[in-house]
Amino acid sequence: MRKLRFIFVVFILTLMIPQMATTSSIADEPQPVNASEPIARLPRVYDIDLANEIYEMVVQNRYRGYVQEFTENGERHVYNYKNIPGSNNELSRYWLVDKMNEVSNERLEIEILGDYMSIVGRLPGYLPGEHPAFVISAHYDTMPFCPGANDNGAGIAAVLELLGIMSQYEWPLDIYFVAFNGAEAQYDVIPGRLMGSGEVSIIFDERDIEILAHFDVGAILRKADHAPSDQRVYLAYYDDGGFNPYTQSRYWAELGKAMSNWYGGDFVQTIPASSFIEYYRADIRKFIERGYYNEILAFETGLADDYAYQLPEDVWNQNDYTYSIGREVTALIGASMAYTMSKAYGEATRLSFQGVAYSGYPLRYYVPVTMATILNIAGRWFGSSATFLVYNPSGALIASSIQANTHPWDSTQIFSIPVTQNGLYRIEVWDNSINSLGVELEIDYEVDANLNGISDQYEYWLDTSLFSIDSDSDSISDAMEIIYGTDGTNVDSDADEIPDNWELDNDMDPTDPIDALLDFDDDTLTNLQEFLYGLNPNSADSDMDLLPDAWEIAVGLDPLVNDANEDPDGDNLTNLEEYIRGSDPLSDETEEPLYILWIGVPVAALILVGVVIFLIKRK
C-alpha cells in the first residue's frame, strides 16, 4: 500500500512540471476592455455625393403600399374647414401624423397650421442659423366621392417614402415635408380651392423661411398613351409667364430630369409653366403669389387619357396607373436634394458615369449648366472605338470627337469646351462597331444653383471665412468644427483624452467619449491606449512586422518599428521566431515551446511511472 501511495505522489508531481516549467517572465498582455458600444449617430452629410444611394433606396412596393393604405378608407373631401371635425378628412390627418412620426423615427418636428389644418413637418438641418430650406409637398384632401389614389395619394406616398429615407441622415439644411389640406375646398366658387397652401405660404413668408427649392407632387401615375419613354411625367417650372427664359425653378426641374437620366429610367419631360395650365392650379400657386419662385410641379403627362382623375374610379389598383413613375418621381426629388447638400466648399462639381453602349444604341447623359463655365470631359473606354458628341440646350452640335482606338487603362481628356448658354447639355457616346462599348466618363464644371453669378464652389451655407479660421489651433477650421459637430474652442470636444483631429483621422467620433474605451482592431488595446502609444487603432499590427502591437508592448519591443528580424537577446532567435515559440525576445534563457512541454512531459511521466512499477514488481 505504501508503494502505491509513493507511485501516486510521483505521478502528481510529474504532472505539475509543465505548470512550473512554463512560468514566463513576459508580462501579462493587456486584457480586452468591456465597454458599451457608443450610441449610433446618424451619418452627417458633407463632401459625399449620396444622390445615387438615395435614388436606390426608394422602394416601389413600399411607395405603392402607402397609396393603398392611405386611400382605402374612401374620400377625404372637406368643403369648408368647419366640416373637418369628425370627418374622414380628420381621421386621415391623424393617420398621416402618426405615419410621419413613425417613418422619421420621430425626428420630424410637426405642426398643424391654419384653419384647414395642413401638416407641416421640419426635418432639422445640422447647420446653425438661418439658411434656405427644401420643401416637398402634396395635398391630402380629395374631391367629393373620390378615393384619391392618384390625386393625391400618389403625392402623399412620395412625401412619406422620401421622409423615411432622408431621416436616416443628418443634412446641412432643413427639409420641410408638407401635407396641404383644402386643395379642393370650395371647388365650385371663385375664388376657391388651395385653401391650406394659401395659409401655409403666408406663415412661411411671415417666418422669413427661404425656400431653395419646392417640389410639389400632384397626380403622377397616368402616363400619356403612346408617349415616348422620356415623357412619362412632367416637371413643370416657373418661367415668369414666359418672359424669363431661365429661372432657378427651371434649373431644379432640369436637375430632376438629369437625376432621372443618370440613375433611373429617364422618365422626365421638363415644361415651362406658361405652357402647362395645371401648374397654376396646384398648391404652389399660393407660394408664387407670396414671392416664392423656386417652385416645381411633378404632374402626369397622361391627364387627357386619365378617365379616373378626381372621380370614384381613382382607386389604388386602377389598371392604368404606373407605379414605377411614382417611384421615379420620389427618387429624383430625393436625389436632387442629396446632390445639392452633398457639396463641399472649394471643390468644383464632378460627375462620374459608367455605362455600356451598343451599336445603334448610344449612351446619353444630361448636364444642367447655369453659368458660363468649361465642360471638361475625360474618360476611358474599351471593347470598341467610340464617337463622342456634345449638344447645347438648343439641340445644336457643338463638339465631336471620333476615337479610333480604345483607351481602357488611362483616363483621356476628350473635350474642354467653354459654354455660356444655360440649360441642359446632352452628351452622347456612340459605339463605332458591332461590339459593345464600355465607357467611364468624368465631367467637371461649375454650378450656380441660386443664379447669383458666383460658382457654388466658392459659396456655402456658412460664413466662408470660417473655413480659414482655426480658433483652437487643432488643424480643424471653425467651419469644419460646425460641420463635424465639435467644439471650435476645445481640441478635445468629448473630453476623452483623444484630440478631435486624431479621432477624425482614425474614423472615430470626436463627439462621443465612449469610443476611447473601445478596441476597434480587437488587439486588446483600447483606442485611448493606441493614441498614447502612437499606434493605428484600426490595425492590430501598426508597423506591419507580423508582431501584434499588444505583444510587442508586453515584451518591451517597439510596436512602431519593424523589428521582426532582430535578435536583441542574442539567442539566435529572431523576435518573430520568439513570438511564434512563445518565448521572451529579451531573455537568452530559451524555453521550450508550450506544445513540447505539454506533450513531452506527460509522456515522460508515464514512462517514469512504468519504470517505478517495473522496479517494484521486480523486488
Is 60 exceeded by the pLDDT of residue 2? no
Work out the angle between the directed axes of helices 323-341 and 248-263 (0-180°, nearest 10). Answer: 110
Q: Can you read off the three cell numbers belonging to residue 425?
A: 447639355
Is 50 exceeded by the pLDDT of residue 368? yes
Looking at residues 499-503, what average pLDDT do you find?
94
pLDDT given for residue 587 in this prediction: 87
Query: What are the strands, taking DSSP E only, across 219-372?
Result: 233-237, 268-272, 295-300, 349-357, 363-369
* All residues at 6 or more sequence positions from 156 whose CB lies less than 8 Å from its CB, including other chains: 66, 67, 70, 96, 138, 140, 179
Mean pLDDT is lowest, of 38-52, 62-76, 171-185, for 38-52
Helices (H) and strands (E) in the chain, counts: 16, 16
Looking at residues 520-528, what average pLDDT do you find?
94
pLDDT given for residue 18 in this prediction: 47
Which of 103, 305, 259, 79 has the alpha carbon at shortest distance from 183? 79
594 — pLDDT class (breaks 50, 70, 90): low
29 — pLDDT class (breaks 50, 70, 90): very low
- Residues 178, 111: contact at Cβ < 8 Å? no
Give the predicted TM-score (pTM) of the model.
0.87
DSSP calls for 433-449: SSS-EEEEEEEEE---T
Rounding to the nearest 10 degrees, give the CA dihedral for residues 333, 334, 337, 343. -140
Mean pLDDT is lowest, of 107-116, 224-233, 609-618, for 609-618
DSSP calls for 9-45: HHHHHHHTHHHHHT--SSPPPPPPP--PPPPP-PPBP
Between 592 and 248, residue with greater pLDDT: 248
- Residues 150, 229: contact at Cβ < 8 Å? no
- What are the structural domain ranges in the chain? 2-22+592-618, 51-341, 349-458
pLDDT, tens only, 93-114: 999 999 999 999 999 999 999 9
pLDDT, tens only, 536-584: 999 999 999 999 999 999 999 999 999 999 999 888 999 999 899 999 9
pLDDT given for residue 562 in this prediction: 95
pLDDT given for residue 37 in this prediction: 56
CATH number of 349-458: 2.60.120.380
pLDDT, tens only, 259-311: 999 999 999 999 999 999 999 999 999 999 999 999 999 999 999 999 999 99
214 — pLDDT class (breaks 50, 70, 90): very high
Fold agreement (51-341, 349-458)? no
CATH class held by domain 51-341: alpha beta
Between 35 and 40, residue with greater pLDDT: 40
